[in-house]
Chain A
């Protein structure tokens, strides 16, 4: 059974940096696939942030491109995201998600983590 689990701080100060990790079980992120981050501000829709492939290729939403980086640790089967210059408007539930040969190329999602930006 595929499981993705986000971890990280629930509170970030304005201008600070958000670092989130997505632990993956049931599939290997080293196998062909793409691993994504998505967020959802309170009461709003889903917004794709970016993704990283099993070989380390990255694509980012242009809205975040200057602030976001993604990475992965294949030995520990997790991938991560850093989002800099956090603002109150970045308050959201952050989801990790992905798809690959081990998921049958069907998207799979984590439960999400609420991150609040506040002083």
Chain B
């Protein structure tokens, strides 16, 4: 089974600063026919379902502010939030949907 290792568990960032969340898959999640990593990033706030931010690792979902960015390098994936805003306080998850879904442990982002 593919294991997603996400770090850190929690992150305190000042307003306007940058938050960086990392996720590593235990094996390749690259779908060869279209050369796309099968990875999504979600934001989840209390009492709400996960909100899709990125799919294929770096394709931003419609409506997601461009201060959010997703990047990829092999089996390493990063979610970056630039210019952190108060409304970005949430838990963030990575998710591989290459085979038999798996999720990272989640990262709590809060304001310092």
* Chain A interface residues toward B at CB < 8 A: 36, 38, 45-48, 51, 59, 61-62, 95, 99, 106-107, 109-112
Kindly list the 6 A-B residue pairs having the minimum CB-CB distance in the complex, ordered from nearest. Answer: A48-B101, A46-B103, A45-B106, A106-B55, A112-B49, A59-B100
* CB of B40 closer than 8 Å to a CB of A: yes
**A45–B101 touching, CB < 8 Å:** no
**A48–B100 touching, CB < 8 Å:** yes
Chain B nearest CB from A58 CB (Å) reads 11
Q: A45-B105, A46-B106, A62-B1 known; 16 other A-B pairs, CB under 8 Å?
A: A38-B103, A45-B104, A46-B93, A46-B95, A48-B101, A59-B99, A61-B100, A95-B49, A95-B50, A106-B40, A106-B52, A107-B40, A107-B52, A107-B95, A107-B97, A109-B50
Chain B 70-106 near chain A by CB (<8 Å), digits 1 or 0:
0000000000000000000000010101011111111
**A47–B103 touching, CB < 8 Å:** yes
* Chain B interface residues toward A at CB < 8 A: 1, 40, 49-50, 52, 55, 93, 95, 97, 99-106
For the complex, give the distance between the alpha carbons of A107 and B96 in Å: 10
**A51–B100 touching, CB < 8 Å:** yes
**B49–A48 touching, CB < 8 Å:** no
For the complex, give the distance between the alpha carbons of A36 and B99 in Å: 11
**B100–A109 touching, CB < 8 Å:** no
A106 — which chain B residues lie within 8 A by C-beta?
Answer: 40, 52, 55
Nearest residue (CB) in A for B6 is A45
Chain B nearest CB from A114 CB (Å) reads 10
Nearest residue (CB) in A for B105 is A45
**B50–A46 touching, CB < 8 Å:** yes
Chain A nearest CB from B26 CB (Å) reads 15
Give 17 pairs: A residue, B residue, CB < 8 Å, sorted on A: A45-B93, A45-B103, A45-B104, A46-B50, A46-B93, A46-B106, A51-B100, A51-B101, A59-B100, A61-B100, A62-B1, A95-B49, A99-B97, A106-B40, A107-B52, A107-B55, A112-B49
B55 — which chain A residues lie within 8 A by C-beta?
Answer: 106-107
Q: Which among B40, B49, B93, B102 has the greatest number of chain A C-beta atoms within 10 A?
A: B49
B40 — which chain A residues lie within 8 A by C-beta?
Answer: 106-107
